[in-house]
Amino acid sequence: MTIATKPRQPELKTALPGPSTKAIIERDAQHLSTSYMRPYPFVPDHGEGVWLTDVDGNTMLDFFAGIAVSTTGHAHPHVVKGVQDQITKFTHVCLTDYPQEITTSLAERLVRHVERPGEKWRVFFGNSGAEAVEAAVKLARNHTGRTHIISTMGSFHGRTYGAITLTGSKTKYKRGFGPLLPAVSHVPYPNPFRPPLGSTPETCGQAVIDHIESLFVGVIPADEVAAIIIEPMQGEGGYIIPPADFLPKLRALCDRHGIMLIFDEVQAGMGRSGKMFSFQHFFEHGDVQPDMITVAKGIASGMPISALLAKESVMTWPVGSHGSTYGGNPVAAAAAHATLDLLEGVVKHPDCGDNLMDNASQVGDYIMAELKKMQTQFPFLGDIRGKGLFIGLEFVKPDGSPDGALRDRASMAMFEKGLLNLDCGEAVIRISPPLILTREEAETGLEIMRQALSELK
């Protein structure tokens, strides 16, 4: 494996944006969809590991991994080889109609990370996170014969009609697009930093459970609820970790009422939190086994594939009732196998210990500890939270309210110093780098953050 792991620094050869970047941004603004966002002027040319070089030759450290997607970094030799080997065999035949060993073995491999003794799971493959979410909702309704779906405030589940209906983070995703899916309700997410429903950081989990139970008394008949869908660690809403007792209590609530529990692991899953699935951090606090799991993003290091994992007892939809032309594409499946090789440690990545999940834990712990030190220096860092390489920094005003404007300035200052980063929530910067990030590379990024934050006055 030839990927470079030697210490490097960002190399800025032009003022940002450089001339080639500017020219492409101008053409992009002429011809691409008006819906695309452009948080800062960056146009990639090529990448290697945790480094991305723009079209002007400026090399930046990647702390956002294409929104938590590039698990193994850019152009990882093992992933490149997997893709090249498969593309010379066949690119497409259509999994909906014909089995393919590469997807059969991928499904076998994925369910091994969730099956408990005596339990069997099955997999439906799609192309994007939203498709996995749509599949989960369709399956929940089809299996239970019920219609209502409960989701959470602050959530993000994708851009298709069902997925935007479930999403609870920003009204701009919905404005002007209605009517949306009927029979969907939103409940607060238990955010210990901003506890909802008059609760405290310690009681916010129970408060949300009590709130759902109260809805079942006066608002929604529980026996009409097909599923509760939730991100076990909330991504776009602000990289929020719920209190330890919440997910076991939610599982118990679903059991009491015969409701399917769907964990959307699209952003926090696939090793990013230091475990394969983020809900697995809560095992020691009780039963948290969901009925379905959606995964995408990090599953194939950037190749488009998603998966809905469901208990065999739940995946009861009839032959032909759901499918996809491209879903489970063999080239993307090859990239998923290569990504899993590195996540599981079947193939080792230099300087990243036994496997990329352990590396995410260790480097993530280091970043969290350093950020907590920075918090004492910068009082506008209201909260530092996360697990593994799923970390959020929340910016606050002196009165403790979210400071989105300061967050935006911080994000731009970091970019201008060569650190690619991305916002989320109302006033949060997320740290979601490739899971191959070494401690030295983390320190380089932290030093850029220190410098950028010290310029914010």
* Contact residues: ligand PLP, CB under 6 A: 67, 128-130, 133, 156-158, 231, 235-236, 264, 266-267, 296
Task: Point out the residue whose Cβ comes nearest to ligand PLP.
Answer: 129
Q: Which conformational region is residue 239 in: left (phi greater than 0), alpha (psi within -120 to 50 degrees), or beta?
A: left
Which H helix or E strand runs over 310?
Answer: strand 306-311
Return d(Cα 150, Cα 288) in angstroms, integer. 17
CB of 297 to ligand PLP, least distance (A): 6
DSSP state string for 109-153: HHHTTTPPTT--EEEEEESSHHHHHHHHHHHHHHHHS--EEEEET
Q: Which is nearer to ligand PLP, 49 or 235 (CB)?
A: 235
Which H helix or E strand runs over 246?
Answer: helix 246-257
CB of 367 to ligand PLP, least distance (A): 20
CB of 129 to ligand PLP, least distance (A): 2
Q: Which is nearer to ligand PLP, 231 or 383 (CB)?
A: 231
Q: Which is nearer to ligand PLP, 72 or 294 (CB)?
A: 294
CB of 135 to ligand PLP, least distance (A): 12
Sequence-distant (6+) residues with CB within 8 A of 334 are 82, 83, 85, 86, 87, 102
Return d(Cα 431, Cα 419) in angstroms, integer. 11
Return d(Cα 171, Cα 402) in angstroms, integer. 18
CB of 311 to ligand PLP, least distance (A): 20
CB of 190 to ligand PLP, least distance (A): 16
CB 432 within 8 A of CB 443: no
Q: Which is nearer to ligand PLP, 301 or 355 (CB)?
A: 301
CB atoms within 10 A of CB 369: 10
β-sheet bridge partners, residue 423: 429
CB of 34 to ligand PLP, least distance (A): 18
Please tell me whether residue 173 adopts helix, strand or coil conformation: helix
CB atoms within 10 A of CB 104: 14
Q: Which is nearer to ligand PLP, 231 or 341 (CB)?
A: 231
Q: Which is nearer to ligand PLP, 129 or 330 (CB)?
A: 129
Q: Which is nearer to ligand PLP, 65 or 130 (CB)?
A: 130
